[in-house]
Amino acid sequence: MKLRVAGLGAGYFSRFHYDAWRRLPETDLVGVADTNLVKAGETGAPAYPTLPAMLKATSPDLLDIITPPETHLDAIKTALDHGIAAIICQKPFCSSLDQARNAKALAAQANVPLIIHENFRFQPWYRLIRNQIDSDAIGTVHQITFRLRTGDGQGPQAYLDRQPYFQTMPRLLVHETAVHWIDTFQYLLGPAQAVYADLRRMNLAIAGEDAGYVIFDFPGGVRALFDGNRHLDHAAENHRMTLGEALVEGTRGTLTLSGTGAVHHRVFGEIQQRCILEPEDWAGFAGDCVHALQAHVIAGLLHGRPLENTAADYLNVIEVEEAIYRSAHEWRKIEV
């Protein structure tokens, strides 16, 4: 059985979605809707000017929403009104926690799976790190640190070549970017219990914050640090492969993620480290994580496997995000 997939949106990141759908043998891409019909047509799928027109013409099983947050709730309502069987929605999910709760409730009422396209946890290095933690390869984890260094945030032209709406987002670093690590840290460590944030706007040409620190408290006294600065870079030919560098530190050793996507393991007390994930020339985006997430969703829909990042689960990520902004505003630790 093949699932009929339709996409809403033909912006910059949509190319990775459509490429991945074409590489999945269980799916047929039957249409793309966008107000820019030329861009929609460039996907190679039949192009439609509106979501209702596409849904009526193609009767898809699955809708992939690849548009900005302010469009999500209306798109989900429209898809549910047309009897869609399943929905994937890009992150950031909706424009507010209330909207996200509403979207989740509407999908649950219609008994339609609603999965958030949060793909970073599907990057091969984080799947491997999770396996290493679960197998006790580094002992008891004390801390995870991620240093975001995208190198694309300097000057008045920042982001205009790829995602120009970044310039006008009132919340940027956390809402658009650090949200990936809210989810990834929780994938690796469990639910966050408290956060403390220090955020700042360095580029006055943009509306939102673009640098800062967020400290997370996790069960058992484990901490995580997100250290983000979109002005600075890291050692990588492709800064968008990992977007930065990570350390996962435990009582028996340390895992290091480099900008190439390689993971190294150093045993506690030793100097030398061993490569446990070699760099690859991955297809798609950042370790082909878009393809991995979409394959995961198809396996869930066709074969009944448990789904990660359902809207019900993802509400927690948005709650943590809201706590981070509240912490930065009030200059204090906030319990989640």
- pLDDT at res. 235: 94
Q: Give the whole-angstrom CA distance, residue 253 versus residue 137.
A: 7
Give 263's strand partners: 257, 277
- Indicate whether 162 pLDDT > 90: no
Q: What domains are defined for the chain?
A: 3-117 (3.40.50.720), 121-285+317-335 (3.30.360.10)
- pLDDT at res. 168: 94
What contacts 161, CB < 8 A, 6 or more positions away?
none
**Contact status, residue 127 vs residue 133, Cβ threshold 8 Å:** no
- Indicate whether 1 pLDDT > 80: no
Q: Give the whole-angstrom CA distance, residue 132 versus residue 247.
A: 13
Q: What is the CA radius of gyration of the chain?
A: 20
- Indicate whether 197 pLDDT > 80: yes
What is this structure's pTM? Answer: 0.94
- Phi first, then psi, for residue 61 (nearest 5°) are -85, -35
- Phi first, then psi, for residue 198 (nearest 5°) are -130, 105
- Indicate whether 305 pLDDT > 90: yes
> What's the average model confidence in pLDDT over 13-24?
96
Which token pair is 55? 């849904």
Provide the pLDDT confidence category of residue 19 given band limits of 50, 70 and 90: very high
Nearest to 32 by CA among 94, 15, 24, 23: 15
Burial 94-120 (b: 16+ CB within 10 A, else e): beeeebbbebbebbeebebbbbbbbbb
pLDDT in tens, 216-234: 999 999 999 999 999 999 9
Which token pair is 5? 């997939």
pLDDT in tens, 168-180: 999 999 999 999 9
- Phi first, then psi, for residue 145 (nearest 5°) are -125, 130
DSSP assignment letter at 176: I
End-to-end CA separation in angstroms for the chain = 42
pLDDT in tens, 49-66: 999 999 999 999 999 999
Mean pLDDT of the chain: 96
